[in-house]
Chains A and B, each alone.
Chain A
Amino acid sequence: MQPLSRWISVSALALMALNAPAQAAVPADALVGPIAEYKLYVLDNLEQLVAHTREFTQAIEQGNLDKAQALYAPTRVYYERIEPIAEMFADLDASIDAREDDYEHGVKDPDFTGFHRLEYGLFKAQSTQGLAPYAKGLMQDVDDLDQRVQGLTFPPSTVVGGAAALMEEVAATKVSGEEDRYSRSDLWDFQANVDGAKEIFELFKPLAAEEDAGFVKRVQGNFDDVEAILADYRVDPQDPKKGFVSYDKVSDADRRALTGPVNVLAEDLSTLRGLLGLN
């Protein structure tokens, strides 16, 4: 936006804010339950993440390429769902989930570790050779994450802001297909990010509806649209565990069709914090 038009819109917004009736903020009491529920959701997913990572990394250490490839995407799901919390730990987020582009020397960078380093080995090099240290490191990091999150008091604004953060993540790295460039399992991560965002939305939906029913309806509709398109790419619509087809199979038309509702969701959800008086 140009500075002038921004200035005009800022003043317009300021005027609107002055005219709007004072909005009753959501009482603090009402926020306690949903935030507690969200932590329990995160802890459940972490328990799954630890168990799946154990199986995944053991397959690598045993040199079982097929099994390791098959477990890569289903394991990541539990991380992708809880990313707003996992990302709070900068060191672990880097060592668990950074992509090669985050490093000066790309895949050759000695600090490039975690899921995407393993993805590179398993799907590009098509071998478990030399991956055991990365597998061990990932298991340690995931255990460490589990410990830290257990002791963490979730900041309410991070929890509520997490819904938008997840959809922004989808818009920035999933629609483009850069997240899982070797395994092409992007749709698994895509769905997991949507799951995580929807969980937060559902928990705060009753509170948000009291403030703005239209907002809730719009967000619900956009979630439905995104999930309907994703459902078309499930391997077996009856069995969600089987996951998704390769991202290469997603038509350009559908990639474009996803962009719209994903961006609107990210934008709408970014107002949830303000709506609940948590800014």
Chain B
Amino acid sequence: MNSTHATPSTAHHAPSPRLMRLGLVASFLLMLIAFGVFALSLRAVESGSDDGTLIEIGARGCQPSRVEVPAGERTFTIVNRSDRAIEWEVIDGVMVLAERENIAPGMRQPLRVDLAPGDYAMTCGLLSNPHGELHVTPNGNAAPARALAAHDFVGARAELRVYTTLQMRKLERASAALAQAINAGDLTAARTAYLQARRIDQRLAMPIGLFGDLDQRLNAPADYYAGREKDPDFGGFPRLAQGLFSAGSTAGLAPVAKQLMADLDVLSRRLAQASVPPAQLANGSARALQTWHDRATDGEMTPLALNDLAGITEGSAKIVTLIDPLLARQAPALQRQLDQALSALQQSLAEAAQPGADGTTSTAESAAPDALQALLDAGAVPAATAQRLLANSEALAKALAAVNHALALSG
């Protein structure tokens, strides 16, 4: 390159010193350009085919301070122009979506981020510096959402196991209190303890449902047994409810409570090892709701049934929070439908459990005993409320049942 441009200037018969200088300058410039092209080509290799966005961070903030990129996987190259080590973060609300820490002064670091459309903030060096704005536009010509892989469910399934573990601990404590009250012959305490333990049991309806034998021993109603209430195998929560609320006595319940504790012990050991298949998250919850709905349709809606529904709804709410982020990309319409169905059911339950109360939710995690008592005092659920609960629980069951199809899961 150098020589080809040097040749013309030397080939002329009378090269003036001025022309000579010009030629030298020109060849020098061309060399610089060549170097630049070379450097640029290297950078293109480094950042792949993606359009990298260069962000320089100085003592006072990001340059540029407002960036707009289309949705998808984007590369940012952060250059630290300040005199101290810095970090650069993409923040969604208060959550850090991605970050690159400890970028030394003068250094550049790339960061790849998968961005959904929306407005994000960027931290720009000092915490006292103003945040930068990152605006992510919908990507019209982007490929349709990629199908979910097994790894996409790991987070949700792990969180479900944490939830199950923690609720199981609560259930064992509540059941111990229940057994104790029964052994002491304290009917009032036993009824309160029953409502609390049963509510937690129903939160776990989906995971417990994975184990047919234990589910039957803990939760099967009398009419599933040949001898109904009199059947020697009739046990678990339904047997305790029959004694405490129908017969109104703790008599004969001590062995039932003892067996219940033993079954829960087996359950907690199995759940600690259980891997809930992704398809069960929504399907299992839909089944629990549908089962409650079908039973409640057949008979009178008692306060005990309401207590069950409160637990099932709490468990379903957890599942919805796990499924929501997965649905957000694959089927946003179903996500909205699911969220609306859930909040409608929660609203109806709150009104049903606390007649006249101003929307104070009784579906909160901490089931206060007096809320349960209020529920019992209310007696039978008014027909209009019962109709609404039936409609709402079925709507949520149906929305949940549609999830697997939307997520392309089978099973």
A residues touching B (Cβ–Cβ < 8 Å)?
3-4, 6-7, 10, 27-29, 31-33, 35-36, 39-40, 43, 87-94, 98, 101-105, 109, 111, 151, 153-156, 165, 168-169, 172, 277-278
Contact = CB atoms under 8 A, between A and B. Distances in A.
Interface stretch (B137-145, B150-158, B371-379): B150-158
Max chain B Cβ within 10 angstroms of own Cβ: one of A87, A92, A277:
A87
B101 A90 contact: no
B96 A87 contact: yes
13 contacts: A7-B42, A10-B46, A31-B158, A35-B155, A36-B161, A90-B91, A93-B96, A151-B321, A154-B159, A156-B151, A165-B101, A168-B102, A172-B101
A36 B271 CA distance: 12
B158 A102 contact: no
Interface in B295-351: 321-322, 325
A98 B126 CA distance: 10
Contact of B154 (A92, A102, A156): A156
Interface residues of B, number: 38
A277 B275 CA distance: 19
Max chain A Cβ within 10 angstroms of own Cβ: one of B46, B101, B154:
B154
Given A3-B39, A153-B156, A154-B158, A278 B151 contact: yes
Q: Main SS of the interface on chain B?
A: helix
A33 B161 contact: yes
A40 B101 contact: no
B345 to A, nearest CB: 20
B128 A32 contact: no
B9 to A, nearest CB: 31
Contact of B96 (A89, A169, A277): A89
Contacts of B155: 35, 153-156
B93 to A, nearest CB: 9
B384 interface: no
Contacts of B129: 104
Interface in B21-80: 39, 42-43, 45-46
B284 to A, nearest CB: 16
Contacts, number: 102
A178 to B, nearest CB: 10
B287 interface: no
Contacts of A155: 155
B123 interface: yes
Contacts of A92: 94
Max chain A Cβ within 10 angstroms of own Cβ: one of B43, B99, B128, B161:
B128
A36 B80 CA distance: 37
A39 B158 contact: yes
A43 B46 CA distance: 40
Contact of B46 (A6, A94, A156, A277): A6
B85 A172 contact: yes
Nearest to A101: B84
B136 to A, nearest CB: 18
8 closest A-B pairs (Cβ-Cβ)? A35-B158, A28-B150, A36-B161, A153-B159, A104-B128, A36-B158, A102-B127, A91-B94
A111 B325 contact: no
B102 A172 contact: yes
Contacts of A3: 39, 42-43
A276 to B, nearest CB: 10
A32 B85 CA distance: 36
Contact of B165 (A40, A94, A104, A169): A40
